[in-house]
Amino acid sequence: MLVINYGTDWAAMTRDALASSDIEKYLKPHYKVVIKPNLVTPQPPGNGATTHPEVVEGIILFLKEFGITNISIIESSAIGYDTKKAYAIAGYEPLQKRYGVPLIDLKNSSSKKLTHDLCTIEIYEKALETDFLINVPVLKAHCQTRLTCNMKNLKGCITEKEMRNFHTMGLHKPIAALNALLKTGYCVVDGICGDLSFEEGGTPLTANRVIVGQNPITVDSFCAELIGYKPDDIDYLSIGKKMGLGNYFSNEAKIIELNSDKKPINSNKIKRISERCTALIEEDAACSVCYAALVRALHRSGRQLPTDKKIHIGQGFINKTGAVGVGNCTRRFEKYVPGCPPSAADIISGL
């Protein structure tokens, strides 16, 4: 079952969507609940990369009406970014003051290793020490995995060291394994203005919708089609499905639409910045933040950087040589832009 609500009162939309959903089948009033938004970088949600605090506020309102008092918000921003700064810039501090809900920076907490058949993953303990995790991603594209939504949003619950390891493993298998080890209780997707080009925002597309449902694979497969992909185009979805973590959304599934008169125009054909730039990039196990910075640099420069060579990026180029590289992993290249990660401005200047 999925519920979609449309409109511009985002807190009320979220609360009403949850009230119309089947969350009561899974949630109990005595549960300890953590809310996991997507605050990948310190920027306002209007840029299309981070979860709107109003959506989280709607969740808090619903939970309190349900009788739940033990609520916290958890996050670990991407490698090299300050989570506390991300909370502040995205507008989360008023939630803490208004509702007494703590904002937890996972980077300051302890972690533990859990083992799955595919790999061993180091997960922050505060993400594990809960009865019910509400996953609140932004519906947006990703420059390496095409889609980032519920399943990939759990990557913010692992250590920075583990984030790097995920990229050496190719992202998709460890993402599926993480979702087997760290269970999502319910999904609340911020579909207000996600960037359908790549994950760090900058070209948001207003859709003003919130999507809720229980199973991450079901919800993510539905969301993939909303932005023009088939579920099997997203490898971690197909891996998770084969692992038995859930099924793709189908026409037989129940779907409820609220305020459908405010439904946005379909945007499947939007051009994706990352796909237009990948012909210039040779990538091997690149971390998302570093890769996104390169994509942003290429986009800002109109793909006219002063080089006729492919630009190499990623951990796979450590101790290798070549012509042009980005990031410290390519330090042995003839020319490279230092940084871990370098900023888009550094890349434009350096190249």
Q: Show which of 262, 286, 306 is a domain's final residue.
A: 262
Same-domain pairing of 123 and 206: yes
The CATH number covering residue 60 comes to: 3.40.50.11440
- Quick one: pLDDT band at residue 340, thresholds 50, 70, 90? confident
* pLDDT for position 128: 96
Kindly tell me if the per-residue pLDDT of 43 is higher than 80. yes
**Beta strand segments in the chain, E:** 2-6, 33-37, 71-75, 103-105, 111-115, 120-124, 132-136, 140-142, 146-148, 186-191, 209-213, 255-258, 281-283, 311-313, 324-326, 335-337
pTM equals 0.82
Please state, rounded to an integer, the average pLDDT across all residues of the chain.
90
Beta strands 132-136 and 33-37, pairing class: parallel
Amino acid at 137: P
Q: How many residues does the chain have?
A: 351
Kindly tell me if the per-residue pLDDT of 303 is higher than 80. no
| pLDDT tens-digit readout, 212-249 | 999 999 999 999 888 878 899 999 999 999 999 999 99
In a domain, 267, yes or no: no
* pLDDT for position 152: 95
In the chain, the number of structural domains is 2
| pLDDT tens-digit readout, 86-118 | 999 999 999 999 999 999 999 999 999 999 998
Same-domain pairing of 190 and 213: yes
Same-domain pairing of 252 and 286: no
The 8-class DSSP code of residue 337 comes to: E
List the domain range (segments joined by +) for residue 255. Answer: 2-262
Same-domain pairing of 83 and 206: yes
**In the block, residue with structure tokens 């990026």:** 313
* pLDDT for position 268: 43
* pLDDT for position 228: 76
Distant-in-sequence, close-in-space partners of 338: CB < 8 Å, separation ≥ 6: 327, 328, 331, 346, 350
Per the omega criterion (within 30 degrees of 0), is the bond before 42 cis?
no
Same-domain pairing of 181 and 311: no
